[in-house]
Structure 1
Amino acid sequence: MIEFIKQTVLPQFGLHCANASISTLGNGHINQTFLVSDDAKKIVLQQINTQIFTQPHLVVSNAARISQHLSAKQQQQDYSLQVVRPVATVAGDLYVDFKEQGFWRAIDYLEHSHTIELVTQTEQAEVAAYAFGHFAAALSDMPSTNIDDVITNFLNLPERMQQLTDAVNDDAYSRLNTCQEWAAFALSQTALLTQLAEFERLLPQRICHNDTKINNMLFDKRDMSSMAIIDLDTCMAGYLMYDFGDMVRAFCSPEPEDSIHLTEVYARPEIISTATMAYVDALDGVITPLEKQSLWLGIKAMTLMLGVRFLTDYLKGDGYFAIKYPLHNLDRAKNQLTIYQSLLKQEPQLIKLFD
């Protein structure tokens, strides 16, 4: 792979392969990402997973449109974060498609950037939540029709529950005996589907990030302030409650999302409270009262949804999420469903944050 990148991919983006340094970057489940530098410049190079993103050119064009919009906001002094911009090929294109050898694109590398994988302090949650809210506010006047859907029904919990039901019924890999109780619990949460449907009929659709994990917000390592929102691959029309919910889901546990120490996995109320205040503050003047009320449902929905997705992938043979060992997706599912259970236990107190 490295030799192919050096000899074939890098020249397309104007880098000199003889002097290039290449290292893997990040912990993404889907795409392969590399940090590449030569004597003149440094870029982030990415091979897009075309099994997941079946129309990868839409991923690239969406990101370019969002980058242009945010750049304009930045010039108007309405957006204070840095903007990650696409890097064109020497031919002036935003990607290069080698067919069987991959679909490749490049984006800016931001000096002094730093990512974290786990929120350990309330200050980190506050900084990141405000940044994600600021990102959403900056996109609030961009018509959602300007962005193409890249994955159909990506954040559709009823569809995800049906996929789990089908995987349970098929049990194609004879794995159900290892997770039957977890699957039954997940599939019992049908009341949430009714609540979500009621809200979705009334909420405005906005351009959403759809992958608001803590490692998709770059900190400036010099002072740990917010620097940029990255990974725009799943930006699509949607609802703020899901962006917020995925963010809080990713922030709130003191353990990584694949931790097997389930007694230590829970939703930290102080993190949820801090993230809520910062996110809503960043969206002041944009978010509607009903959208604020919906945020609590978003936390529950996104936590349950990811648990369902991990469990479905496990039952179907691990074809979507990259795994490091045979039970990895099962462990991830147990982890997320444990957070969901913690949210349910704390609901009477936490729901007051969203009045």
Structure 2
Amino acid sequence: MYQKQATILSKHFGLSQDDVSIKPIGNGHINTTLLLKSPEKNIVVQKLNTHVFPDPISLVNNARQIEIHLSDKKDQHAYQLEIIKHIPTTEENYVVEIEGESWRALEFIGRSYSEDVVANQEQAEIAANAFGQFAAALEDFDASNLHSVIPDFHNLTMRLDALKRVVKADPVGRLEACQKEVDFCLAQSQLLSELAELVDILPVRACHNDTKINNMLFCNQTQQAKAVIDLDTCMPGYWMFDFGDMVRTFCSPEAEDSTNLERVKVREDIFQAIVDGYVAPLDGIITEQEKQSFWLGAKVMTFMIGVRFLTDYIDGDNYFSIKYDGHNLDRARNQFALYRDLVEKTETLQAILFK
């Protein structure tokens, strides 16, 4: 499907244009990620979704700033993980335009694998610790240097307002199928007041902002952490949302689009592993207010991605990639089931977090 682009990309990045192959890798919702194989080496190429990321140059500049900072830390023996690095073209550019589409290339980190569902407590702690190491290494990075490639990315007020707008418009006639979910969302407004009380007292950090389990690579040989990947949403933000996204994507034994909702539950041992893994590298850095904010972050991130899936479903599936009609609605219902279980287990989970 992308063979023509493979040939053009090979030329741009100084690779042989003969005997090249290209195939999809990963399970990202937004960009199209492919492995380009040539006789010289394998590289990862991405077609950037310019509907979601209208300024690909700023996106790549952000990621390269993080890459350079982490490389300096690694040289100082202050960061142990491998670093995903951009590859320049033969003309020293980092974004390539092909027939109106924006592409970039990244070094391929071999002998590694990712997971979509956390298998056990040990795996959860390893991944959470990697994201903690990532956060700690960026503690002295000036977050104001990063461009907000998706403004208000974790702005719950904005996400609920967007939901209200598509509910009012109902552009493709889907509201009737999900009115119950809409009513549920609009009844959670107490989260807005909880957020308003917190965000003004939290330090702004350079955050990953997409700490899904599949954005961390494990080593094939050791099963230990190898690299934190997908730096596209690295922007100024709050650690509570990075913690919350780990809770959202690590804790359920089911994938985020599973319709087996009775099994979509918070595994308490996995929650414990996230707390232990993420907080340890931040010892001496994290403020007490930030630690207190983690519980709200867990609730908000789980609920908010559900709102986003639901909004996209009602709007006609214009944002997230889908595999079938109703995929985004299934995702939304899955996240709301997890959110309900989080709230139901408040006392137990807070005891783990604040012990």
State the TM-score, normalizing by the size of structure 2.
Answer: 0.98
Name the Cα RMSD after superposition. 0.9
- For residue 259 of structure 2, what is the aligned residue in structure 1? 260
Query: Equivalents in 2 of 1:270, 1:187: separation in Å?
Result: 31
- For residue 335 of structure 1, what is the aligned residue in structure 2? 334
Work out whether 1:24 is the aligned partner of 2:40.
no
- For residue 352 of structure 2, what is the aligned residue in structure 1? 353
Work out whether 1:63 is the aligned partner of 2:37.
no
CA contact (8 A) 2:31 2:48 kept: yes
- Deviation, structure 1 residue 231: 0.3
Query: What SS does structure 2 have at the residue aligned with 1:167?
Result: helix
> 1:105-184 maps to which residues of 2 (within 5 A)?
105-184=104-183
Letter of the 2:201 counterpart: L
- Deviation, structure 1 residue 109: 0.6
Letter of the 1:11 counterpart: K
Query: Equivalents in 1 of 2:202, 2:289: separation in Å?
Result: 7
| Structure 1 unaligned residues grouped into runs of 5+ | none
- Deviation, structure 1 residue 95: 1.5
- For residue 34 of structure 2, what is the aligned residue in structure 1? 34
Q: Please, which moves more after superposition, 34-43 or 230-239?
A: 34-43
- Deviation, structure 1 residue 319: 0.3
- For residue 44 of structure 2, what is the aligned residue in structure 1? 44
Letter of the 2:205 counterpart: R
Letter of the 2:198 counterpart: F
Query: Equivalents in 1 of 2:19, 2:4: separation in Å?
Result: 15
Query: Equivalents in 2 of 1:3, 1:80: separation in Å?
Result: 36
- Deviation, structure 1 residue 7: 2.6
Query: Equivalents in 2 of 1:185, 1:160: separation in Å?
Result: 14
Question: Could you report, residue by residue, the CA deviation over 1:9-63 in whole angstroms, capped at 9, with x for unpaired residues?
Answer: 2210112121212111101111011111211111100110111100000111111
- For residue 272 of structure 2, what is the aligned residue in structure 1? 273
Query: Equivalents in 1 of 2:75, 2:312: separation in Å?
Result: 43
| Fraction of identical pairs, as percent | 47
Letter of the 2:206 counterpart: I
Letter of the 2:56 counterpart: P
> 1:224-303 maps to which residues of 2 (within 5 A)?
224-303=223-302
Question: Could you report, residue by residue, the CA deviation over 1:129-150 in whole angstroms, capped at 9, with x for unpaired residues?
Answer: 0000110000010001111110
Question: Could you report, residue by residue, the CA deviation over 1:317-338 in whole angstroms, capped at 9, with x for unpaired residues?
Answer: 0000011111100000000000
Query: What SS does structure 1 have at the residue aligned with 2:83?
Result: coil
- For residue 199 of structure 1, what is the aligned residue in structure 2? 198
CA contact (8 A) 2:159 2:307 kept: yes
Structure 1 residue ranges (4+ consecutive) displaced by more than 4 angstroms after TM superposition? none
- For residue 305 of structure 1, what is the aligned residue in structure 2? 304
State the TM-score, normalizing by the size of structure 1.
Answer: 0.98
Query: What SS does structure 2 have at the residue aligned with 1:45?
Result: strand
> 1:75-114 maps to which residues of 2 (within 5 A)?
75-98=75-98, 100=100, 102-114=101-113
- Deviation, structure 1 residue 3: 2.3
CA contact (8 A) 2:3 2:21 kept: no
| Structure 2 unaligned residues grouped into runs of 5+ | none
Letter of the 1:128 counterpart: A
- For residue 190 of structure 1, what is the aligned residue in structure 2? 189
- Deviation, structure 1 residue 301: 0.3
Query: What SS does structure 2 have at the residue aligned with 1:19?
Result: coil
